A and B are shown apart, each in its own frame.
Chain A
Amino acid sequence: DVQLVESGGGLVKPGGSLRISCVASGFTFTSYTMNWVRQAPGKGLEWVSSTSSGGVLTHYGDSVKGRFTISRDNAKNSLYLEMKNLRVGDTGVYYCARDWAVRSGFFDSWGQGTLVTVSS
Chain B
Amino acid sequence: DIQMTQSPSTLSASVGDRVTITCRSNETISTSLAWYQHRPGRAPNLLLYKASDLQSGVPSRFSGSGSGSEFTLTISSLQPDDFATYYCQQYNSYPYTFGQGTRLDIE
Contact = CB atoms under 8 A, between A and B. Distances in A.
Contacts, number: 59
Interface in A67-120: 95, 97, 100, 104-108, 110-113
B91 to A, nearest CB: 3
Interface in B43-86: 43-46, 49, 55, 85
Contacts of B97: 47
A44 B49 CA distance: 19
A45 B38 contact: yes
B100 A108 contact: no
B61 to A, nearest CB: 20
A47 B101 contact: no
A46 B96 CA distance: 8
A1 interface: no
B98 A110 contact: no
A104 B36 contact: no
